[in-house]
Chain A
Amino acid sequence: DTEVTQTPKHLVMGMTNKKSLKCEQHMGHRAMYWYKQKAKKPPELMFVYSYEKLSINESVPSRFSPECPNSSLLNLHLHALQPEDSALYLCASSSEDYYNSPLHFGNGTRLTVT
Chain B
Amino acid sequence: GQQVMQIPQYQHVQEGEDFTTYCNSSTTLSNIQWYKQRPGGHPVFLIQLVKSGEVKKQKRLTFQFGEAKKNSSLHITATQTTDVGTYFCAGLGDDKIIFGKGTRLHILP
Interface residues of A (CB under 8 A from B): 2, 40-45, 56, 90, 99-100, 102-108
Contact = CB atoms under 8 A, between A and B. Distances in A.
Contacts, number: 43
B102 A99 contact: no
B63 interface: no
B100 A42 contact: yes
A56 B43 contact: no
B44 A105 contact: yes
Contacts of A103: 33, 35, 43, 45, 90, 97
A2 B88 CA distance: 18
Interface of A is mostly: loop
Contact of B48 (A44, A90, A102): A102
Interface string B96-108: 1101111010000
Given A42-B102, A100-B30, A100-B31, A106 B42 contact: yes
6 contacts: A41-B102, A43-B99, A45-B96, A90-B42, A100-B31, A104-B45
Nearest to A105: B42
B44 A56 contact: no
A105 B96 contact: no
Interface in B38-77: 41-45, 48, 50
